[in-house]
Structures are given as structure tokens and as C-alpha cells.
């Protein structure tokens, strides 16, 4: 399954997860920039200007929350973010979604799962719909 080449930043402390994601995404035609901590990730974002990011909630360093806050503060959050992690609580998800993440995926996931989620992530976000109220 070939897709349009996109630049995707992938950040996870686990080297095995990074390698698997990199292989799977590159075989699908994406250019992948991997990082094992928040400092490497910020450097990759500045240099590569990715079209999307896959971010582990427990990333070494600032963690997902710190990364998202820094990206927003520096006006670098110009792409969709997919949050991944184990044991994500509703509070974790709400916090990260409020900071700008577009979706999440719970570990473990299959290679096909990640490709489908990335494909969805790369689609334009739906426009906000006006709220219609009924007079009762």
C-alpha cells in the first residue's frame, strides 16, 4: 500500500517501537524522523518540518504534555499529532487533546493499525460545523 510521501516525526523512548514504526512507515512511502527523547524530537521538528507526528505519552524528557506545550509556545504545532501509549487514562487523553493532539492509539497496536491511523491523520481536519438550536 503506497501513499503520498509525507514527513513524519516519531518519538518513543523504546528503541524497538521506533524501529518497527520507522520500517512500517518507510515501506509505505513516508520519510520518517525518529527521536528517543523530547530534546531530539524538538530538534527534528525544527529541522524536518514534519507533516505529522506520532508521540509517545511517556516520552523521556518533557513527556508528551511538555512537548505539546513547547510546540504551541514556539508556534511549531502546524501538523496533526497522534498520541500513543499504554494505560492512557481519560484524563491523560483529555489533557493532550486540549493541547492539540488529533487522535490517539493504545499500545500494543499492529502495523496495519498504525498505517490506517496515519492515513486518517493525514486527511484534512473536518471544518467546524455551526451549532443549530431548536426552539422548543
Q: Is the pLDDT of residue 1 over 90?
A: no
Question: Residues near 69 by Cβ (< 8 Å), separated by ≥ 6?
Answer: 62, 99
Confidence class for position 5, pLDDT limits 50, 70, 90 = confident
β-pair type (103-106, 81-85):
parallel
Read off the pLDDT of residues 91-125 as tens digits, 9 standing for 90 and up. 999 999 999 999 999 999 999 999 999 999 988 87
- pLDDT bucket at 3, cuts 50 / 70 / 90: very low
Please name each of the domains of the chain with its CATH number.
7-122 (3.40.50.2300)
* Per-residue 3-state assignment (H helix, E strand, C coil) for 2-61: CCCCCEEEEECCCHHHHHHHHHHHHHCCCEEEEECEHHHHHHHHHHHCCCEEEEECCCEC
Alpha carbons 54 and 92: distance in angstroms, whole number: 16
Angstrom distance (rounded) from CA 30 to CA 14: 20
Gap between the Cα atoms of 71 and 18, Å rounded: 21
pLDDT digits (tens, 9 = 90+) for 38-86: 999 999 999 999 999 999 999 999 999 999 999 999 999 999 999 999 9
As a whole number of angstroms, the distance between CA 103 and CA 96 comes to 9
**Count of CB atoms within 10 A of residue 40's CB?**
17
Amino acid at each position: 500500500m503506497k501513499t503520498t510521501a509525507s514527513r513524519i516525526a516519531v518519538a518513543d523512548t523504546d528503541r524497538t517501537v521506533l524501529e518497527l514504526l520507522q520500517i512500517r512507515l518507510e515501506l509505505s512511502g513516508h520519510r520518517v524522523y525518529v527521536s528517543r527523547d523530547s530534546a531530539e524530537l524538538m530538534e527534528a521538528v525544527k529541522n524536518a518540518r514534519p507533516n505529522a507526528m506520532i508521540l509517545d505519552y511517556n516520552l523521556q524528557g518533557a513527556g508528551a504534555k511538555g512537548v505539546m506545550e513547547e510546540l504551541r509556545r514556539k508556534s511549531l504545532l502546524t501538523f496533526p499529532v497522534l498520541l500513543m501509549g499504554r494505560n492512557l487514562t481519560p484524563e491523560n487523553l483529555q489533557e493532550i487533546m486540549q493541547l492539540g493532539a488529533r487522535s490517539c492509539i493504545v499500545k500494543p497496536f499492529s502495523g496495519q493499525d498504525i498505517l490506517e491511523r496515519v492515513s486518517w491523520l493525514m486527511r484534512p481536519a473536518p471544518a467546524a460545523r455551526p451549532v443549530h438550536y431548536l426552539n422548543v
